[in-house]
């Protein structure tokens, strides 16, 4: 799901086109990865709240939604990382 400004930034003309939306989302994650030099916590916070909010607060902004989003994604990430390689089928059926 891309916000209108993010879609425009990555030249996504039809956010309802799944392939175009996913491609734009991946490009956005790459931009965030480079901007925050691989800092996963800040990348996730910026994906949810925006780069400016993360920079303003020097990390995860004090927004309940963003804090919960970062917590949940990191929790899933750690659980899956410990489990080892996971097939796309396993991810889709969870």
Going residue by residue through the chain, which has 94 residues, state the pLDDT in tens, using 9 for 90 and above.
Answer: 788 899 999 999 999 999 999 999 999 999 999 999 999 999 999 999 999 999 999 999 999 999 999 999 999 888 888 887 766 666 556 5
- For residues 1 and 21, the answer to whether their CB atoms sit within 8 Å is yes
Angle between helices 40-49 and 18-35 (to 10 degrees): 130
Residues with Cβ within 8 Å of 81's Cβ and at least 6 positions away in sequence, in order, are none
Tokens for 78?
């750690």
State the Cα–Cα distance between residues 49 and 65, nearest whole angstrom.
9
Neighbours of 94 (CB within 10 A): 8
The reported pTM is 0.82
- For residues 74 and 41, the answer to whether their CB atoms sit within 8 Å is yes
């Amino acid at each position: 799901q891309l916000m209108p400004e993010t879609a425009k930034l990555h030249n996504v003309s039809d956010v309802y086109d799944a392939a175009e939306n996913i491609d734009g989302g991946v490009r956005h994650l790459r931009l965030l990865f480079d901007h925050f030099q691989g800092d996963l916590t800040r990348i996730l916070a910026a994906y949810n709240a925006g780069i400016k909010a993360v920079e303003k607060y020097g990390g995860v902004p004090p927004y309940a939604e963003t804090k919960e989003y970062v917590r949940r994604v990191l929790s899933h990430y750690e659980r899956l990382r410990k489990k080892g390689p996971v097939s796309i089928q396993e991810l889709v059926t969870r």
